[in-house]
Amino acid sequence: MRKSAIIGLITIALCIGFLVSLNADTDTYSNFAEASTSNKEEHVMGNWEKSKGTYYDAVKDPNHFA
């Protein structure tokens, strides 16, 4: 094999390993109460109550959507 092909395969393997390692800490799903007491990163699952409506004001707080 050519050197460039070997370097390409090694680069691809390193990228795949990096992506797998990013997901290693987030292996559980929880609700907000469980996530607030946990010391690790978690996926938080919830339901959107459409009857309450939505409000978004980008000028006041662009990071808050209620």
Q: 16 lies in which domain range? A: 3-47
- What total of structural domains would you count in the chain? 1
Q: What count of other Cβ atoms lies within 10 Å of the Cβ of residue 42?
A: 17
pLDDT in tens, 31-48: 888 888 888 777 787 777
Residue 17 has pLDDT above 80, yes or no: yes
Q: What does the pLDDT average to over 14-27?
A: 80
CB-count burial class (<10 Å; 0-12, 13-18, 19+) for 56: exposed
Residue 14 has pLDDT above 70, yes or no: yes
Q: Specify if 29 maps to a domain.
A: yes
Query: Has this prediction a pTM greater than 0.75?
Result: no
